[in-house]
Amino acid sequence: MRVVRTVAALREAIAEAGDGGVGLVPTMGALHEGHLSLVRAARQDHELVIVSVFVNPTQFNDAADLDAYPRDEARDVELAASAGADLVFAPNVAEMYPQGFATTVRVTGSITHRLEGAMRGSAHFDGVATIVAKLLIAVSPDSAYFGAKDAQQVVVVRRMVADLGIPTRIVSCPTSREEGGLARSSRNARLSPSARTRALAIPRALREIEGALSHGEMDAGVLKERGLAVLRADELEVEYLEIVDPDGLEALASVTRPALCVVAVRVENVRLIDNVLLTPAHALAAER
Output DSSP code: residue 251. Answer: B
Q: Binder to a second copy among 14, 31, 80, 111 (CB under 8 A)? A: 111
Q: Binder to a second copy among 107, 202, 213, 218 (CB under 8 A)? A: 107
Q: Binder to a second copy among 2, 71, 75, 106 (CB under 8 A)? A: 106
Which residues, 157 to 186, sit near a second copy by CB under 8 A? 159-160, 162-167
Q: Binder to a second copy among 3, 68, 90, 105 (CB under 8 A)? A: 105
- The C-alpha angle with vertex 239 and arms to 238 and 241, in degrees rounded to 5, equals 75
Torsion of CA 166, 129, 255, 172, to 10 degrees: 60
Query: Tell me, what amino acid is at 285?
Result: A
Query: Tell me, what amino acid is at 152?
Result: Q
Please confirm, yes or no, whether 35 is among the known catalytic residues.
Answer: yes
Residue 27 Cβ, how far from a second copy at the closest point, in Å? 19
Contact present, 262 and 275 (Cβ < 8 Å): yes
Q: Is 13 in the site for a second copy (CB under 8 A)?
A: no
Pick the closer one to a second copy by CB: 136 or 231: 136
Pick the closer one to a second copy by CB: 104 or 269: 104
Residues near a second copy (CB under 8 A), total: 27
Return the bridge partners of 40, or none: none
Pick the closer one to a second copy by CB: 74 or 102: 102
Q: Which stretch binds a second copy (CB under 8 A): 28-36, 102-110, 208-216, 278-286?
A: 102-110
Alpha carbon distances (Å) from 255 to 187, 211, 214, 223: 31, 13, 11, 9
Q: Binder to a second copy among 2, 44, 92, 109 (CB under 8 A)? A: 109
CB < 8 Å & 24+ apart, contacts of 203-210:
203/177, 203/274, 204/230, 205/230, 205/231, 205/241, 205/263, 206/261, 206/263, 206/274, 206/275, 206/276, 207/181, 209/243, 209/261, 209/276, 209/278, 210/276, 210/278
Q: Binder to a second copy among 44, 108, 192, 269 (CB under 8 A)? A: 108
Alpha-carbon torsion (246, 111, 150, 142), positive or negative: positive
Pick the closer one to a second copy by CB: 133 or 199: 133
Q: Is 250 in the site for a second copy (CB under 8 A)?
A: no
Q: Is 99 in the site for a second copy (CB under 8 A)?
A: no
Residue 13 Cβ, how far from a second copy at the closest point, in Å? 15
Contact present, 29 and 3 (Cβ < 8 Å): no
Alpha carbon distances (Å) from 125 to 18, 91, 108, 279: 33, 20, 9, 27
Q: Binder to a second copy among 4, 50, 51, 138 (CB under 8 A)? A: 138
Residue 155 Cβ, how far from a second copy at the closest point, in Å? 11
Q: Is 102 in the site for a second copy (CB under 8 A)?
A: yes
Q: Is 129 in the site for a second copy (CB under 8 A)?
A: yes
Q: Binder to a second copy among 100, 193, 285, 286 (CB under 8 A)? A: 100
Half-sphere exposure of 174 (CA within 13 A, CB side): 4
Q: What residues act catalytically? A: 35
Contact positions vs a second copy (CB under 8 A): 7, 11, 98, 100-109, 111, 129, 133-134, 137-138, 159-160, 162-167
